[in-house]
């Protein structure tokens, strides 16, 4: 089943109020390509103002806690980021898994909390370079997917992002054949986990996607879009990726 391409920018810990003009410029490009679903996940401090300034443009978060409230200093609940104006959240990004010790179980609970609050969830999975070199990439990624998979998952709110850890922020991109193999494995695992409706779950590729390689990556079977870090910070870099997606 053909899915609309979905292009999401992950700003990570970048962006002050001054960079809201970059989100506005990106939203303007997205508005011209309405056959693509595009969005930006800025730092939580910018969600409310980015949402208010860009009606109709999908602003997301980069994380949420799995509890509804409580003694979790420095964390934000799904309801909090929703109230701020986010409509979805990236969850289980490899930087959160590595820097904050997030387990598959945590990511599953976060996705369920996001859904309960009315948010979409983009669950990230991906192997390290050592795991790929050891021939374990598919087993690691499908294992992460099973462990992180939320109850009651449905394509209306769940997206998967395959992000090889060694490709994030490095300028290195896997061979198209490796991306194809992994996305097919993820598609098969989704079929096993959820049965009917699994074909409609979008599987994004993430890791050094840019305006120069987006067309090739987006043409790979089962690549339904991209999760983009460095090349999402302004319209000059992110616009060409949205345009590339629009050609499909």
Q: Which residues bind ligand PEP (CB under 6 A)?
A: 10, 163, 168-169, 206-209, 227-231
For ligand PEP, the closer CB: 42 or 229: 229
Q: What is the spatial distance between Cα 172 and Cα 168, in angstroms, rounded to a whole number? A: 8
Q: CB 192 → ligand PEP: shortest distance, Å?
A: 26
- Using alpha carbons only, give the angle 229, 233, 236 rounded to the nearest 5 degrees: 120
Q: What is the spatial distance between Cα 54 and Cα 41, in angstroms, rounded to a whole number? A: 13
163 is known as an active-site residue: yes
Looking up tokens 């994004």 gives 204
Q: CB 236 → ligand PEP: shortest distance, Å?
A: 15
Q: What is the spatial distance between Cα 97 and Cα 90, in angstroms, rounded to a whole number? A: 12
24 alpha-carbon distance from chain centroid: 20
Q: How far is CA 24 from CA 14, 58, 82, 83, in A?
A: 16, 12, 20, 20
Q: CB 197 → ligand PEP: shortest distance, Å?
A: 26
93 is known as an active-site residue: yes
Which position's Cβ is nearest ligand PEP?
A: 229
Q: CB 170 → ligand PEP: shortest distance, Å?
A: 7
Looking up tokens 């959820």 gives 194
The dihedral formed by the CA atoms of 101, 106, 111 and 117, expressed in degrees to the nearest 10:
-100
Q: Do residues 32 and 79 touch, judged by C-beta distance below 8 A?
A: no
Q: CB 38 → ligand PEP: shortest distance, Å?
A: 15
The catalytic residue among 33, 93, 115, 183 is 93
Q: Do residues 86 and 60 touch, judged by C-beta distance below 8 A?
A: yes
Look at the chain and count its residues: 248
**Active-site residue numbers?**
93, 163
């Amino acid at each position: 089943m053909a899915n609309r391409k979905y292009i999401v920018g992950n700003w990570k810990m970048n962006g002050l109020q001054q960079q809201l003009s970059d989100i506005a410029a990106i939203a303007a490009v997205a508005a011209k390509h309405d056959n693509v679903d595009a969005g930006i996940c800025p730092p939580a401090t910018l969600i409310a103002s980015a949402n208010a300034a860009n009606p109709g443009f999908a602003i997301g978060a980069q994380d949420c806690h799995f509890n509804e409230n409580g003694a979790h200093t420095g964390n934000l609940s799904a309801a909090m980021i929703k109230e701020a104006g986010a409509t979805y959240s990236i969850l289980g990004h490899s930087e959160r898994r590595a820097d904050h010790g997030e387990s598959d179980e945590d990511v599953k609970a976060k996705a369920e909390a996001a859904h309960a609050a009315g948010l979409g969830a983009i669950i990230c999975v991906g192997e390290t370079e050592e795991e790929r070199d050891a021939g374990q990439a598919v087993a690691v990624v499908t294992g992460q997917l099973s462990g992180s998979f939320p109850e009651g998952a449905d394509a209306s709110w769940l997206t998967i992002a395959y992000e090889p850890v060694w490709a994030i922020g490095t300028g290195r991109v896997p061979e198209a054949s490796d991306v194809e193999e992994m996305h097919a494995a993820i598609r098969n695992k989704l079929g096993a986990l959820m049965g009917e409706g699994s074909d409609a779950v979008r599987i994004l590729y993430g890791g050094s996607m840019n305006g120069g390689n987006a067309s090739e990556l987006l043409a790979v079977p089962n690549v339904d879009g991209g999760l983009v870090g460095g090349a999402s910070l302004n319209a000059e870099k992110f616009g060409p990726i949205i345009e590339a997606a629009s050609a499909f």
